[in-house]
Structure 1
Amino acid sequence: MKVLLVNGSPHSKGCTYTALEEVAKTLEQNGIETEIFQLGNKGINGCIGCSSCKKTGKCFMNDKVNAFAEKAKEADGFVFGSPVHYASASGELTSFLDRLFYSASEHLQFKPAASIASARRAGTTATLDQINKYATINNMPLVSSQYWNMVHGYTPEDVKRDLEGMQTMRLLGNNMAWLIKCIELGKSNNINRPELEERIFTNFMD
């Protein structure tokens, strides 16, 4: 069993990473393999709506989105982390998630997901709401904790001093490990994912 954790910050070892590392450490203690996937600071182009991925099965922009999609096929859960930029997720993570969920949603469906936000002060709940919407449009169970999944601080050292935030990350890791193990136990007892209905699209202009 494996969880992929996405660091949507341009800083590879910053505040967002510090929170994700705490989640990953807890997952590992529960016997769940982890990988922190760094988006980096090279920039990720946004989706241009060409729909070529619907024909080829992958985005024509061959970058970290396709690399992650390949890893997602074998993953059992996901944690998407972001710093707060103007009360929303980072531009890199937003572009990444737009293209990932449009081109490779089938590799993520029915797998548990969680979002975390890191901020010096405010904007965390708006950021969490934004990231959560990707999972909730794609049949993915959301994993929660004792508080909203956020940490506060201007530096990684500050985040480590946010004792409640770090505890929230640990409980998030425990909850995700528990849910993944429950799903695996269900599979072994022939309790499989729900069958999807044929999709209905409503055009309110008709």
Structure 2
Amino acid sequence: MKVLTVNGSPHLHGCTDRALQEFEKTLVACGIEIERVNVGNKDIRGCIACNYCREHGRCVFNDLVNETAPKFAQADGIIVGTPTYYAGSNGQLLSFLDRLFYSTAKTVNKTMKIGAAVVSSRRGGSTSAFDEINKYFTISAMPIVSSTYWNEVHGFVAEDVEKDLEGLQTMRNLARNMAFMIKAFKAQQDKEGLPEQEHTSFTSFMDKA
């Protein structure tokens, strides 16, 4: 069992990384493998809605998105970490997620993959960034992992996060909850398979009725 961790911060050893480290360490102790992808320091352009991926099964821009897609396919869960900018997520990260989720619509079955968002902020704005990431999961039939507080840490630099004992505690509890969900869902999937997902209706109002 494996979880893909995505660091959306351009600071590879900053606050977001420190939160993810605490999560990863605990997850490994629970018997789950991890693989890390760093996004925030990469040049990731946004989706241009060309629908190349619908025909070819991959994004027209051959960058980190296409490199990550098979890792996403193999993972039982994904955790996405972001710093908070103007009460939102890192721009490169959002471009990455837009293209990753859209370009894998037909190639990666996301049903019942476990998703989690982690945010870091100096002081405020983190909950809206938290909501922003979670929406990728809720549109994809992916259950969201919760913890004992919102999944966030506070600090301006990584050393500050060391003082956020509740934030680090939240990361550890999040990891334990995610490991539990992955194992429980895997057992149920082995027993009965994945739940059926209907895709026959598409509300577009194009009939002008």
TM-score by length of 2: 0.95
Match of 1:53 in 2: 53
- Other structure's SS at 1:82 match: strand
Q: Give the conservation status (yes or no) of the 8 Å contact 2:40–2:90.
A: no
Cα displacement (A) at 1:108 = 2.9
Q: Give the conservation status (yes or no) of the 8 Å contact 1:6–1:81.
A: yes
Cα displacement (A) at 1:184 = 1.6
Match of 1:119 in 2: 121
Match of 1:98 in 2: 98
List aligned pairs for 1:77-96, cutoff 5 A: 77-96=77-96
Question: Stretches of 4+ moved more than 4 A in 1?
Answer: none
List aligned pairs for 1:1-206, cutoff 5 A: 1-105=1-105, 106-188=108-190, 190-204=191-205, 206=208
Cα displacement (A) at 1:73 = 1.5
Cα displacement (A) at 1:43 = 1.9
Q: Matched residues in 2 for 1:160 and 1:191: separation?
A: 43
- Other structure's SS at 2:197 match: coil
Q: Matched residues in 1 for 2:179 and 2:52: separation?
A: 36
Cα displacement (A) at 1:40 = 4.2
Letter in 1 for 2:125: G
Tell me, which stretches of 5 or more residues in structure 1 are unaligned?
A: none
Q: Matched residues in 1 for 2:199 and 2:118: separation?
A: 32
Tell me, which stretches of 5 or more residues in structure 2 are unaligned?
A: none
- Other structure's SS at 1:135 match: helix
Letter in 2 for 1:84: T
TM-score by length of 1: 0.96
Cα displacement (A) at 1:169 = 0.3
Identity, % of aligned pairs?
52
Q: Matched residues in 2 for 1:162 and 1:107: separation?
A: 36
- Other structure's SS at 1:161 match: coil
- Other structure's SS at 1:117 match: strand
Q: After superposition, what is the alpha-carbon deviation per residue over 1:18-60, rounded to whole angstroms, capped at 9, x for unaligned?
A: 0011110010000000122111423200000000000000001
